[in-house]
Amino acid sequence: MTATPESKTQSKWLAAELKHDSGVYNKHEVVMVRGLGATVWDENGRSYIDCVAGYGVANIGHSHPDVVKAIQEQAGRLMVMPQSVPNDKRAEFLQELVGILPAGLDRVFLCNSGTEAMEAAKKFAITGTGRKRFVSMKRGFSGRSLGALALTWEPKYREPFGDAVDNKNVDFVTYGNIEELRGAVTEETAAVILEPVQGEGGVRPATMEFIQEARRITREKGALLILDEIQTGFCRTGKMFATEHFGVTPDGMTLAKAMAGGVPIGAFVMTGEVADRMPAGGHGTTFGGNPLSMAAGLAAIRAMKREGMAEQAREKGAYFMERLRAIQSPKIREVRGMGLMIGVELKEKSAPYITALEHDEGVMALQATPLVVRFLPPITITREQIDQVVDAFARVLSGVNPRAERQAELAAQAEEKQSE
């Protein structure tokens, strides 16, 4: 929900953000101050079920106790040490991460965000193949730096920057169209880059054939297959990584979002063959692999394994989608997704319903393309909370507004009192 000038007066924190923020974000009207599991609280103490989870970061829940403890301990021990200097926590994290990756992906470039992981993927693909063309997907999202943006399809993200976004080396193909993909991959292609489930593009899972053919075509042409698992990774889709659903091993994967339980982190993971062709000094970053995020990541991955988060996402996701599909509303076109990465495509713009969910029902959800309502809850969300979200969604779709009704009721009671 977009904050208006009048709402500026509601909260000093909101006012300060509106005044000093760069202005690239449409601000919600709430100021969130705390989170635990799948619940967040605003500055007035109102609770919300959080199906945004920081855009799919808080997979193991907000403020997971293991991550909190790991950060506290590491903060008092060592927070920064560049990657040129080995560190115990980093070594331990690398072993833990490689232990959950598909076999063959055992080399890691550590960074601080998804966008940086995409930048690394491009550079390693170029040095790894000696080629510089990329094939990316229509409706795909790869991040917002100039290099990552070149792989991002949505023209409105690219157009304000004109030809500073150099995507003359990028060919976009229709997601799911094997013939188009085959036509686009040539002896000049360094890599095909795609999301196993398109997130920003409207929550669209790839078909089995598309991913398997992408693997076959890239192998035939000597190009790399790089899966963007920034949103789908770390149990979100019901497996540790979505690629496991498709039975393929890519040459590289980009990771970020949920990897460190809420702390900024990113990685490009790849085969030794790809990594070995990058010259020493060919890439780097100051904060990448810092001991603080390593400690958080280590605790987060161990919690995912111990608590069976992939299994939980699979079961809860199936239940969530089944309940969403049971909503009788002429406004719903389709419910789709994988695990707890769920999209509901409406026959009209989704934004007003997302606003109503937050404002009237205390449920935070996310947009994905103008027509889709996206639910990316923490995997720790309870069935009871899923029921509450689905019931709330059904109410906003049918135009019922319990908050307004409650306010009207209170106003009527107050009037009655006065007239007594």
If binding is defined by CB under 6 A, does position 342 make contact with ligand PLP? no
Radius of gyration from C-alpha coordinates of the chain: 22
Nearer to ligand PLP (CB atom), residue 136 or residue 231 = 231
Task: Give the DSSP letter string of 68-87.
Answer: HHHHHHHHTT-----TTS--
Q: Work out the end-to-end distance of the chain between its first and last CA atoms, rounded to an integer number of angstroms.
A: 39
Q: Are 136 and 130 in contact (CB under 8 A)?
A: no
Nearer to ligand PLP, 141 or 393 (CB): 141
Part of the chain binding ligand PLP (CB under 6 A), chosen from 46-54, 112-120, 177-185, 369-377: 112-120
Q: Is 246 annotated as a binding residue?
A: no
Q: Is 195 in the site for ligand PLP (CB under 6 A)?
A: yes
Contact range with ligand PLP by CB under 6 A, out of 108-116, 159-167, 169-177, 341-349 = 108-116
To ligand PLP, the closest distance from the beta carbon of 352 in angstroms equals: 24
For the bound state, the minimum distance from the C-beta of residue 122 to ligand PLP, rounded and expressed in Å, comes to 12
- Provide the mask over 244-273, with x wherever binding to ligand PLP is found by CB under 6 A and - wherever it is not: ------------x-----------------
The answer to whether 238 and 180 are in contact (CB under 8 A) is no
Please indicate if the annotation marks 254 as binding a ligand. no
Is 127 within any annotated ligand binding site? no
Q: Are 294 and 93 in contact (CB under 8 A)?
A: yes
| CB-based closest residue to ligand PLP | 114
Q: Which amino acid is at 324?
A: L
CB of 199 to ligand PLP, least distance (A): 5
Between 193 and 278, whose beta carbon lies closer to ligand PLP? 193
286 is known to lie in a ligand binding site: yes
- Residue closer to ligand PLP, measured from CB, 189 or 231: 231
Contact 313, 237 (CB under 8 A): yes
- Nearer residue to ligand PLP within complex by CB, 230 or 340: 230
Q: Does the annotation list 116 as a binding residue?
A: no
Question: What whole-number distance in Å separates Cα of residue 246 and Cα of residue 87?
Answer: 35
List the one residue out of 297, 308, 302, 231 whose CA is nearest residue 262.
Answer: 297
**Binding residue per annotation — 141?**
yes
Contact 234, 269 (CB under 8 A): no
Q: Which of 52, 230, 265, 300 binds ligand PLP (CB under 6 A)?
A: 230
Q: Applying CB under 6 A, which part among 202-210, 224-232, 270-278, 306-314 lies near ligand PLP?
A: 224-232
Backbone angles phi, psi at 341, to 5 degrees: -115, 100
- Out of 50, 119, 171, 228, the residue judged to bind ligand PLP by CB under 6 A: 228
Q: In angstroms, what is the minimal distance from the CB of 368 to ligand PLP?
A: 10
Name every residue whose Cβ is closer than 8 Å to that of residue 387 and which is 6 or more positions away in sequence: 323
Q: Is 229 annotated as a binding residue?
A: yes
Query: Nearest approach, Cβ of 151 to ligand PLP (angstroms)?
Result: 9
Q: How far is the CB of 21 from ligand PLP (least distance, A)?
A: 17
Name the residue nearer to ligand PLP (CB basis): 142 or 218: 142
Q: Which is nearer to ligand PLP, 118 or 356 (CB)?
A: 118
How near is the Cβ of 266 to ligand PLP at its closest, in Å?
Answer: 6
Residue 231 touching ligand PLP (CB under 6 A) = yes
Q: Does 199 bind ligand PLP (CB under 6 A)?
A: yes
Annotation-wise, does 115 bind a ligand? yes
Instruction: Write out the DSSP string of 203-259.
Output: SEEPPHHHHHHHHHHHHHHT-EEEEE-TTTTTTTTSSSSTHHHHT---SEEEE-GGG
* Distance in angstroms (rounded) separating the CA atoms of residues 213 and 347: 32
Sorted by sequence, the CB contacts under 8 Å of residue 372 that are 6+ apart come out as 202, 203, 343, 344, 345, 346, 350
Which residues between 113 and 172 bind ligand PLP (CB under 6 A)?
Answer: 113-115, 118, 141-143
DSSP collapsed to 3 states, 333-360: EEEEEECCEEEEEECCCCHHHHHHHHHH
Does residue 298 contact residue 92 with C-beta atoms inside 8 Å?
yes
Is 282 annotated as contributing to ligand binding?
Answer: no
Burial 83-100 (b: 16+ CB within 10 A, else e): beeebebbeebbebbeee
Q: For residue 331, how many other CB atoms are within 10 A of its CB?
A: 15
Q: Is 230 among the annotated ligand-binding positions? A: yes
Least distance CB 52 / ligand PLP (angstroms):
12
Annotated binding site for pyridoxal 5'-phosphate: 114-115, 141, 228-231, 286
Interface with ligand PLP (CB under 6 A): 113-115, 118, 141-143, 195, 199, 228, 230-231, 256
List residues forming the annotated binding site for substrate.
144, 285
